[in-house]
Amino acid sequence: MTVVARWLAHGALLLSGLVLVGLGAAPAAAQSAAERTESPEVEKLVTAAIALRAQSRDLDALETLKKAAEIEPGSVRVQVHLSNVYQALGEWLAADQYLRLALAQTNHPYVVRHRQALDEARSVIEDNIGMVEVDGQPAGAEVRLNGRLVGTLPLAAPVPVTVGSYTLEVKLAGHYSAVRPIAVAGHSFLRESVRLERLPTDELSTRTFPIGVGPGPGHDATLDRPVERSWLTWTLAGLGAATGVTAIGAVVYREVHANRWNDDSRCLAVGQTRAELCGGERDKVESADGLALATGVAAGLFTAGALLNAFVFTEPSTPRTGLAGCSLSPQGASCFGSF
């Protein structure tokens, strides 16, 4: 959170507390007769909500005020306190909505009496809200902010949003989508113009789709075909052949050096043992034994895998009959299939 954002948040909480004191400190008996229009049940709920807010239990206070609003939805006092608690929770759009409802009744005694506190609350709310207007073409294109649909072109009115960064996305089938980042500041009016271009005709004509299904995004007619696994069979077979050749080479290498180890003319002499004269040949024989064993086992496993994939796991391809799909082009429509 930036320094400015933290200052605004602390300022909002402070002002929320001041409004709470200004709106709830006076007992019901001190209110004028014109202000005491709520039913006893609503008065009880508002008093309880004020007490909960004093204990920093804003969520409980919100639920209590919602119950009061269900009983008397047109109560200015309930609307003001709802705006106040939404402001404390950082839900600026809801706070703005309820405060506007209350201030629309400019001559109401409650509004007149607390006008200064309400104007201060409105100023803080406006510091945290901006307006976004999107115009352009074609008509009917969806307009989204951070993935949330806010309307279609042309928008009926600017969209109020809280201060922050957003991803603006405008899209319509058959057109390129427009995606761009935007930043909304308090008291700002951001206007964005977007014009989507149609997809090329040749690109549309290459898209095929089953009968009854349009060329919507994400559809691929190839998903309906059986999965081909012949590449795996050939890969395993190739690995089996390579390791088999390596195993054979290791066996030949072993025999050469084993013959040298057993050659008495090379590896026997007066006063010296066979190991002293030809110890290197024995080491090569042992290394070749290990390599031949390992590659021989690997060759067997790869070959077995290739055979299993070829004859057990691969589904036999059966010819399909009937209409498979259609393709659109500037010259018309063509369909394909097997019969």
Mean pLDDT of 86-114: 94
**Paired residues of 209 in beta bridges:** 326
- Reported confidence tier of residue 36, pLDDT bands at 50, 70, 90: low
Q: Which two tokens stand for residue 141?
A: 């294109």
Whether residues 143 and 89 share a domain: the answer is no
Q: Give the H/E segment covering residue 326.
A: strand 322-329
Given a contact cutoff of 8 angstroms between Cβ atoms, the answer to whether 302 and 240 are in contact is yes
Whether residues 122 and 28 share a domain: the answer is yes
- Whether residue 10 has pLDDT greater than 70: no
CATH number of 62's domain: 1.25.40.10
pLDDT for res 209:
43
Whether residues 68 and 114 share a domain: the answer is yes
More confident residue, 189 or 226: 189
Whether residues 28 and 141 share a domain: the answer is no
Whether residues 90 and 35 share a domain: the answer is yes
Q: What whole-number percentage of the chain has pLDDT above 70?
A: 72
Whether residues 98 and 27 share a domain: the answer is yes
Amino acid at 202: D
Would you say residue 266 lies in a domain?
yes
Domains held by the chain: number: 3
Would you say residue 224 lies in a domain?
no
CATH number of 155's domain: 2.60.40.1120
Would you say residue 219 lies in a domain?
no
- Whether residue 321 has pLDDT greater than 90: no
Would you say residue 244 lies in a domain?
yes
pLDDT for res 202:
63
Find all residues with CB under 8 Å of 69, minimum gap 6, and list them. Answer: 75, 78, 79, 82
* Three-state DSSP state, 138: coil
Whether residues 122 and 178 share a domain: the answer is no
Whether residues 147 and 113 share a domain: the answer is no
pLDDT for res 229:
57
Q: Tell me whether the omega of the peptide bond preceding residue 138 falls within 30 degrees of 0, making it cis.
A: yes
Would you say residue 239 lies in a domain?
yes
Would you say residue 301 lies in a domain?
yes
Number of Cβ within 10 Å of residue 87's Cβ equals: 26
Tens-digit pLDDT profile for residues 243-273: 888 989 888 888 888 888 788 777 877 777 7
Listed in order, strand segments (DSSP E) in 80-210 are 129-137, 142-145, 148-152, 159-162, 164-171, 178-184, 189-195, 208-209
Given a contact cutoff of 8 angstroms between Cβ atoms, the answer to whether 184 and 163 are in contact is yes
More confident residue, 339 or 60: 60
Would you say residue 107 lies in a domain?
yes
pLDDT for res 30:
41
pLDDT for res 203:
58
Mean pLDDT of 197-214: 59
Ordered alpha helix ranges (H), the chain: 3-24, 40-54, 58-71, 76-88, 92-103, 109-113, 115-127, 201-205, 230-262, 264-267, 274-308
- Whether residue 97 has pLDDT greater than 60: yes
Q: Which of 75, 93, 91, 87 is nearest to 117 (CA)?
A: 87
Whether residues 37 and 119 share a domain: the answer is yes
- Whether residue 147 has pLDDT greater than 60: yes
Rounded to whole angstroms, the Cα distance separating 91 from 51 reads 21
Would you say residue 69 lies in a domain?
yes
- Whether residue 52 has pLDDT greater than 80: yes
Tens-digit pLDDT profile for residues 213-246: 444 444 333 333 344 457 677 788 888 888 888 9
Whether residues 78 and 160 share a domain: the answer is no
Whether residues 8 and 95 share a domain: the answer is yes
* Three-state DSSP state, 137: strand
Q: Which domain holds residue 280?
A: 230-313
- Reported confidence tier of residue 47, pLDDT bands at 50, 70, 90: very high
Whether residues 239 and 308 share a domain: the answer is yes
